[in-house]
Structure 1
Amino acid sequence: MEGEGIFPTVVLRLGPVELTDTLLTSLGLTLAFWLGGIGLSRRLRLKPGPMQAALEGIVLAMEEAISQVLPAHAQRVGPFIMGLWWFLLAANLIGLIPGLHSPTRDLSITSALAVLVFLSVHWFGIQSEGIQGYLGHYLKPFPFLLPFHLVSEITRTVALAVRLFGNMLSLDLVALIVLLLAGFLVPVPILMLHIVEALVQAYIFGMLALVYIASGMHAREQPKESAA
């Protein structure tokens, strides 16, 4: 039956547009982050405490990871990558709440995230080098390699979407099979596996996005540095 089990469920139809539970969950997470960020920032300004210290530690760790890859552009790229990390972490973990499913087990959601990364690579690359300089690197070292560069752009975007989708879907499948075979005798190991996998997949997706952006922004910087 449509929408049963681990697969997305169509909750609402608006003409030809189908709204699934994973899409609504993603929209809800986005709204929650926006409203929660406003409320949390006001609360922390008025009453600093342990929560502020914990959040600052997490943000500093994220900034350090970004600076290791893009030290000269960490301030520019950091908000996008950190926002991606926070969203993926919440999206991967929300499946632990009864009645909800991880949006990242839906290929349409992971594809949208991969397309967002694809567009961000070109956005930051053009900002860094200018449109002529950025597009020119597709013709290097030889112009006849242009089709291979284009195929590479497409395949890595598809791989980014499928990798996250496959890992999160397989995690849900494994958890479902184990619970069906063993009942609820092993909930804690399954819970820990889900948490660890959610953290790992969020980190990998964000780091791959960061590496792709760095490769675009450094397309013309490397020759300049070597010449210096």
Structure 2
Amino acid sequence: MNGLSGNTWFTVAGIGLSETLLLSIALTGLFALLAYVLGRSLSASPGRLQVVAEAALTLMTEAVAEVVPPAAVPRVLPFIATLWLFILAANLLGLVPGLSAPTRDLSVTAALAVLVFLAVHVYGVRAAGWRRYLRHYLQPSPILLPFHLISELTRTLALAVRLFGNMMSLEMAALLVLLVAGFLVPVPLLLLHVIEALVQAYIFGMLALIYIGGALEAASTSESPSPKEPAT
């Protein structure tokens, strides 16, 4: 994989289907199937899969509740949880022989960053309305509007490049170590990959959560009227 478009596995009607695209679609379908199965098999006496799913959901709910207001948790949690799970699974695909992690492809990380960019503004507009939400870009002075816009673009770019760079460098480092030391050190490399996959998924999701929390805070700030001066 070249890190930009991936290796083409199939060609349909002249359109190349890359490894990255097919793996991303497969992950999406797998999570949809798991959600359907778990939703249909919920029980008061849960099995192992339900216990693991409930424990993971509890951890993610607590993490989201630490950043956004309690009323916004049910709205924000599905998006952030999906990001965490998808990125973690995509990162771990690099451990499968013959496969590469979709997140070492810049097109995937850029798409995820654009989703975060759009979600931030969707949540902000839903919280306060588009007029009040957009008004916070003019605070504390309209002169700062260009800087606010540049900040929105640069942090989106940083999200995409950070995840892409970390996963690309991790797989390249693992390949170099295997070439130099052979297969004498597979277990430490596997552990390093698993830890890095967890860390990168957590960081990406937390940054997205912080950006959404900032949009909700800006919306609430712009929504509240300015205090009146006391009468003399």
Does the pair score TM above 0.5? yes
Aligned to 2:47: 49
Contact 1:6-1:172 at 8 Å conserved across structures: no
Contact 2:3-2:105 at 8 Å conserved across structures: no
**Could you say what secondary structure the match of 2:183 adopts?**
coil
Which of structure 1's runs of 4+ aligned residues deviate more than 6 A?
A: 4-7
Where in structure 2 are the equivalents of 1:167-206 lying within 5 Å? 167-206=166-205
Q: Confirm or deny that 1:19 pairs with 2:17.
A: yes
Computing the radius of gyration from Cα coordinates, the structure with the larger value is: 2
Aligned with 1:33 (options 31, 34, 37): 31
Aligned to 1:89: 88
Aligned to 2:158: 159
Q: Matched residues, percent identical? A: 55
Where in structure 2 are the equivalents of 1:48-197 lying within 5 Å? 48-72=46-70, 73-197=72-196
Aligned to 1:216: 215
Contact 2:124-2:219 at 8 Å conserved across structures: no
Unmatched 5+ residue regions in structure 2? 228-232
Once residues 147 and 92 of structure 2 are traced to their aligned partners in structure 1, the CA distance between those partners, rounded to angstroms, is 37
User: Structure 1 residue 164: deviation in Å?
Assistant: 0.1
Once residues 38 and 121 of structure 2 are traced to their aligned partners in structure 1, the CA distance between those partners, rounded to angstroms, is 33
Amino acid at match of 1:103: P
**Could you say what secondary structure the match of 1:98 adopts?**
coil
Q: Confirm or deny that 1:8 pairs with 2:13.
A: no
Amino acid at match of 2:187: V
Contact 1:6-1:173 at 8 Å conserved across structures: no
What count of residue pairs does the alignment treat as equivalent? Answer: 225
Tell me the TM-score normalized by structure 1. Answer: 0.91
Tell me the TM-score normalized by structure 2. Answer: 0.90
